[in-house]
Each structure stands twice: as C-alpha cells, then as structure tokens.
Structure 1
C-alpha cells in the first residue's frame, strides 16, 4: 500500500522572517514549486473529528489524493495517484478510483459517497536539503488570506526537532503554535461565510 509516516515540524513566519530565511539559506537558487490542495470533508466533519484530512494535490502535471491520519510518530499518509480527469471528477463530487485511500476511509467508518469538495489552497513552495533534513518555505493563498510558513521534514522525530529548534534559535524566530494548512483553510472558510 502507498503509505508513509510523515515527520514534520511547522512554524508560521512573518513576512520579514520568511525573507530572512529565504536570503540566508539561499532559497533564491531553488526553483519555485506551485501546488494546489483541493480539500474534502463530510457534511458532519467526520474526518476533522477523527483528526484526519483528505486532499487532492495538483503539483506540476501530477494529481495525488492523500489521506492524513494521526500516528504516534507524526502523520500516517495514504496516497493514490489520479488522472487529471479523475481529479476533476473528485472536485465535482464524483469520487472514485482511489483504492488505498478508500481502504483507509473504510477503516475510519467514512464512505466516499459522503465526501464533498470544500475548497482549495495554493502554495508557492521552495525546498532544500539542510543538515540531513528537508526545509521548506511556503507562501500560501486561500480565501482572502495568505501566510508564510517554515516546514522541516526529517527521518526521525529527535533529529528533526533538534535541527528545527536550532534553525529557529539561529534566526531569532519565536516558536509558534502552528495549525496545519487544512485547519488554517477551515478558519478562513468560516470567517468568509
């Protein structure tokens, strides 16, 4: 099955902090990636109530549906690749052709027929290797909001936490409680309604 444990650390940044990291860590030499997350949920928020999230991500010419669930070491991610045509059907609430994700949703007691498309978030992303981790600078846009974020992905929680804390300390960036993108998206959605 197409699954992985994602171990990542996140911190929202001010625009000034974002550009400080951008410059000091030479992100200008890295190509920008544009990706759009299309989010799905049930009317009664079953995914959210289980701490899970479901998205279809468009990145370049690829479309991937990902279910994220809580896991003791981070997040359990389950993936399926979709064609553009199938992704378009998903966005029009005609959900099909995702056997790995379907299997996990069934374990959560959630039927794909209950899922609805709820909106999208677009991110301009820069990534680079840093001390055996991957650091990511994101500038995301959703509803009338935009934000800046630092993410760090690591192969172990201990190593990731060490590098993340050193990075924040070196650049004098306060550690902030940072919700994931879908939670920030939901907050903006509620404000817009």
Structure 2
C-alpha cells in the first residue's frame, strides 16, 4: 500500500521548494511508459499499468485503487520481456497476468507514450518529500509528493508543509491520470 499526498506546483513554487529543501541531494531520472487497451479499459477501472525505467532496471507496475491508497503490484522485467510488451502487448509474469485478469480486458495492451521525470527526494521527519519535474506529450509540469505511513498524521503534515511555504492546496491527479487524460484528448 502506498499513502501519498500530491500537489501540482507552479514553476516558481517548484523552484522555491528546490531552493529550500534540495541542499545536497542530486536528481534521479526515471521514465514511465504507459500501457492500456485502445478503449482505456484499465483507466476506466481507475487502474494504470506502466514500465518504469531507472538506472537500476525495468519494473512493470499495476496501480489500482484500494481503501485510502493504491494497491501496487511490481514485477521486474528483462529487456526482452519489456520489448514483448511494447511490440505485442504480451506480459510474461504469471503474477501480473493474475492481477490483470480481474479487469476482463477485451483487447490487447498497447504502448500509449512516455513520461520522463527528474526527481528530487528529501526525507523529512513526517514523511518523504518528493519534487518532480515531468515532461510528457509536449507538456512540462511540476509536482510535490509527500509519502507517509499514516494517513491522518501525514495529511496534517502535508497541509502544514504547503501552508508554511505559501502554496495553495490544489486538487491533483496522479501523473499517470494526467498523462492518460491528455492522451485521451489527443485521440
């Protein structure tokens, strides 16, 4: 289970937070390639499937809503397995196939595009502060994520963090939802 709070940022707010919190850490680059059926069947169930590429390798992740957070299923991929998903919509992992079965997909998975993120992380007393600058489908956006272990305590710490930095709280969709919404508009 992942519990996190999100807030889209203006570029100036992002720069302000970077200046305040990012004293010594360096950025981490990651790329997310998103998959769904042509009719967005996973998206219609509130779920999302991605391959995340980091320096440490490739991970296939299915995110689906559960209680106050998201249930995430992760499977490591080889280059060949990733290529089969990109080219043919094939998944080799039995665990991932089992998780996807409940969605009764009527069509093959297809690659919808890539989102690249430059990520900075800073551990704070109340949780992990993450600052992301993401580029996808011709858009650049900025986001603050706050990852916590307890919903109520984390929510209060998140709201305090925004208030102390003069940043208004904004309704913020997950990156994958923002990507999918923009992709759906472009079809």
Q: Within 5 Å, which residues of 2 pair with 1:11-160?
A: 11-25=7-21, 27-110=22-105, 114-160=108-154
Cα distance per residue 1:95-143 (max 9 Å; x no partner): 22222221111122237x6211111100000011111311100000001
- Count of residues in correspondence between the two structures: 187
Q: Which runs of 5+ in 1 are unaligned?
A: none
Q: Distance in 1 between matches of 2:15 and 2:7?
A: 14
Q: Normalization by structure 1: what TM-score?
A: 0.91
Is the partner of 1:29 in helix, strand or coil? coil
Conservation of the 8 A alpha-carbon contact between 2:128 and 2:146: yes
Q: Distance in 2 between matches of 1:67 and 1:20?
A: 33
For the aligned residue pairs, the C-alpha RMSD in angstroms reads 1.5
Q: Distance in 1 between matches of 2:37 and 2:181?
A: 16
Conservation of the 8 A alpha-carbon contact between 1:32 and 1:124: yes
Q: Which runs of 5+ in 2 are unaligned?
A: none
Is the partner of 1:178 in helix, strand or coil? coil
